[in-house]
Amino acid sequence: KTTVAALKNTASQLDGQTITLSGWVRTVRDSKALGFIELNDGSCFSSIQIVFTEEKLENFKQIAKLSVGSAITVEGTLVLTPGARQPYEVQAECIAIEGDCPPDYPLQKKRHSFEFLRQMAPLRPRTNTFAAVFRVRSLCAYAIHKFFQERGFVYVHTPIITASDCEGAGEMFQVTTMDLNDIPKDGEGNVDYGQDFFGKQANLTVSGQLNVEPFALSMRSVYTFGPTFRAENSNTPRHAAEFWMIEPEIAFADLDDDMALAEDMVKYIINYVLEQAPDEIAFFNQFVDKGLLERLKNVAGSDFGRVSYTEAIELLQKSGRNFQYPVAWGCDLQTEHERYLSEEVFARPVFVTGYPKEIKAFYMRMNEDGKTVAAMDLLVPGIGELIGGSQREEREEVLVSRIEELGMRKEDYTWYINTRRYGGCKHAGYGLGFERMIMYLTGMSNIRDVLPYPRTVGTAEY
């Protein structure tokens, strides 16, 4: 048995030989004693043409009536067809029906909108676009592991169930062991989940960072790569309630080391995917985002911009733009601001550094000015924030005073604070939003279209 992907390299030597292929029918055409099937076997985008004749097939009539979507196995002769639209085809000796398909199959041969396909997550990988997205997603995950493993980083599996709120935003999904019928309700019938993970409060992790830092302070260069959860009620094309994050953490490193690592990683991923998925990227470039290929090539070959938050605010104020959210020093950057900076001012990815402490998490290292922290966000055209990171506050007294200032429960973070006492050192890290990276690589503009089963506000089907 072979695959359509494998044939790309081997077909030229297989002229006249018998091969076997299994896949799903994209189209069937027939006229009297001759028919054609366009077969896609999932191994790549290309479909292969199957020619079948009444002379060869006992079940000719049945095959001619096959519905789109049916699964079949074909045994036949591979024939090179120079000059034809496709370089080779298969002349069927026999075709077995593995599974037929009713005529109400939703993916009939025509173009469907991404919104329509979103309603059928289990079927959309049968389309060219989604098969390409999920192949790129798989390659991208592999590229990330390859990048870190080649540099000696250790992959640490941080917990999904945790008691801490890394980002301090209170956007956590609670975990409970209660019988659903026993969950207490308030007077208005709202559920009170209370604190119940075997008697303790627990939630799904929003970030693996706090758990991975101690590993950096033991094993130097480490990373997590896993699912994270945010109960933020933002119904946008870039936010999901469940998304994957890659979080490297490096010891004896400062913010500049952190940005250098992030820049190397993004370029490595792009180069790897351009090399390993040229057909997919060409497809996205043609059908989804016309400037994609050129943009990716430029990014891989140019230096990322660097600008301080304070300068960025000045640039935004001088822009003359009528932003929906007005800009002033101290405000958090909104997507419109992030996109203006990366698309119009820098026209490439840009790191913004030194954000006001008020809009960043407690663990970021305080700068000399006492107002800003050693934070960095990487903003990229088309997306906005792709990466968020920082140098960490390694000074125990400064860390504790930040925790107290923010009204967090210090007792909950004793284990974390202790990492600063027991040979703590300068260290830094960042989080890459995996889905945003896939959006960046494919030009897909909605996070729901790069997650196999998106969990966003209001959707948790399948």
**d(Cα 38, Cα 456) in Å, to the nearest integer?**
35
Close Cβ partners of 23 (under 8 Å, ≥ 6 residues apart): 4, 39, 40, 41, 42, 48, 71, 72
**Minimum gap (Å) between residue 387 Cβ and Mg ion:** 8
Mask 197-236, x = binds ligand 4AD (CB under 6 A)? ----------x-x--------------------x-x----
**d(Cα 402, Cα 79) in Å, to the nearest integer?**
72
433 or 443: whose CB is closer to Mg ion?
433
387 binds, among ligand 4AD, Mg ion, none (CB under 5 to 8 A by kind): ligand 4AD
Q: Distances in Å between the alpha carbon of 274 and those of 93, 301, 440?
A: 38, 13, 13
SS3 153: coil
For ligand 4AD (CB under 6 A), the number of binding residues is 24
Radius of gyration of the chain (CA): 27
Interacting span for ligand 4AD (CB under 6 A) from 27-35, 48-56, 275-283, 432-440: 432-440
4 or 255: whose CB is closer to ligand 4AD?
255
**Minimum gap (Å) between residue 440 Cβ and ligand 4AD:** 10
User: Contacting ligand 4AD (CB under 6 A), which of 245, 292, 299, 374?
Assistant: 245
Amino acid identity for residue 224 in this structure: T
Q: Where are the beta strands (DSSP E) in 100-220?
A: 154-155, 161-162, 203-204
Close Cβ partners of 101 (under 8 Å, ≥ 6 residues apart): 25, 67, 68, 69, 70, 71
Instruction: Identify the residue whose tokens are 């943009």.
Output: 295
Check binding of 389 to Mg ion (CB under 5 A). no
424 binds, among Mg ion, ligand 4AD, none (CB under 5 to 8 A by kind): none
339 or 436: whose CB is closer to ligand 4AD?
436
Check binding of 388 to Mg ion (CB under 5 A). yes
48 or 166: whose CB is closer to ligand 4AD?
166
Residue 200: which of 177, 181, 230 has the closest Cα?
177
Q: Which residues bind Mg ion (CB under 5 A)?
A: 388
Q: Which residues bind ligand 4AD (CB under 6 A)?
A: 166-167, 207, 209, 230, 232, 239-240, 243, 245, 247, 385-390, 429-431, 433, 435-436, 447
